[in-house]
Amino acid sequence: MVEFVVPEPDYDRYSNRQLAAVPLAVLALALLVLAGWTLMTGTPVTPGIEFTGGTEIQVATDASQSEVRQSLDFEIDSVQPIAGSNEYIVTTQATDSDAISSAARSAGYEIVSVQSRSASFGADAQRLALIGIGVAFVGMSLLIFALFRTFVPSIAVVASAFSDIVIPLALMNVFGIKLSLGSVAALLMLIGYSVDSDILLNNHILRRRGSFYESTYRAMQTGVTMTVTSISAMTVMWIVSSLFGIPLLPDLAIVLVFGLVADLMNTYMLNLSLLRWYKYEGVAR
């Protein structure tokens, strides 16, 4: 049986500025990516057909994935094979389902199903998704300030959660992942995951007995184990759902993996550096 042991880092070797520099540099880079993407495309992340409107058509054929893409004479968003069958799910931002069905029949494909979403419905869904993420983040922030009632520990949790969301959004652009219902669900879940690990660290350091580093290591043993377990589970889910062509789950899983890896860095470097400053310098002032 493999035993997972959380290594005890020697934080004494690094100053607070050195610890915070890496996560802040990564956050700045992520914000630059989102700003550049907004200037080029008009949105910080490219929305999928759930938020722009479009058509999803499922076809049956013995042709390969690349042959399906090349044979259809409309602009294609993605061609997703369905594992264990000879069927593909083709998505496009075009909304004329009759013309798309006609093009698929002309290419010699058997149509299994066709689903279309209007552009206005997509715009409404996009607005509701943004409102949902905003409300969740503001609600989380208010709860954190109510729990700790001190500025530095509270802002450490909120800053870490903000970075945990911004970094996956930038990585979505880098890896060509569009904003979908699955990725929005992952961003909402990341708020919860991020707050869990940050509150665990803050509680051990601020509210339990023991030295700063003893408390930090006890929190790390639980927090790192919890996060690494979640990363492993999400990686497996991404692989399996991608292989079997299960909709939504690949986007949800890979965005969670991005966010959870960022959470390890932000919690035990950015949040920790702010807490150490607060404990040894901020309280004395």
**CA proximity to 250, closest of 175, 197, 200:** 175
Domain boundary (82, 102, 117) is at 117
Q: Whole-number mean pLDDT of the chain?
A: 87
CATH classification at residue 74? 3.30.70
Residue 195, helix vs strand vs coil: helix
Give 2's contacts (C-beta < 8 A, 6+ positions apart).
none
Q: Which one has a higher pLDDT value, 49 or 199?
A: 199
**Other CB atoms within 10 A of residue 232 CB:** 13
31 part of a folded domain: yes
Q: What is the pLDDT of residues 60-86, one digit of tens each?
A: 888 888 888 888 877 888 888 877 778
37 part of a folded domain: yes
Are 82 and 196 members of one domain? no
Q: Per-residue pLDDT for 153 more than 90?
A: no
133 part of a folded domain: yes
Are 84 and 207 members of one domain? no
CATH classification at residue 253? 1.20.1640.10
Alpha-helical segments (H) within the chain:
16-41, 49-52, 65-71, 97-106, 119-148, 151-174, 181-207, 212-243, 249-265, 272-277
User: Would you state the pLDDT for residue 86?
Assistant: 82
Are 164 and 23 members of one domain? yes
Name the pTM for this structure. Answer: 0.84
Q: 71: exposed, middle or buried (C-beta count within 10 Å: 0-12, 13-18, 19+)? A: middle
Q: Per-residue pLDDT for 284 more than 90?
A: no
- Return d(Cα 41, Cα 33) in angstroms, integer: 12
Are 142 and 75 members of one domain? no
113 part of a folded domain: yes
User: Would you state the pLDDT for residue 73?
Assistant: 79
Are 108 and 209 members of one domain? no
Give 268's contacts (C-beta < 8 A, 6+ positions apart).
9, 201, 220, 223, 224
Are 107 and 205 members of one domain? no
Q: Among the listed ranges 114-118, 140-144, 170-174, which one has the minimum average pLDDT value?
A: 114-118
Are 65 and 168 members of one domain? no
Domain boundary (97, 117, 137) is at 117
Are 195 and 125 members of one domain? yes
Tell me which residue range forms the domain holding 68.
Answer: 54-117
3-class SS letters over 75-111? CCCEEEECCCCCEEEEEECCCCHHHHHHHHHHCCCEE
Instruction: Tally the domains of the chain.
Output: 2
Domain boundary (117, 145, 162) is at 117
Q: Per-residue pLDDT for 244 more than 70?
A: yes
Q: What is the pLDDT of residues 250-262, one digit of tens each?
A: 989 999 999 999 9
CA distances from 158 to 24, 95, 213, 219 (A): 14, 40, 22, 18
21 part of a folded domain: yes
Are 102 and 126 members of one domain? no
Amino acid at 262: A
Are 20 and 103 members of one domain? no
Are 125 and 111 members of one domain? no
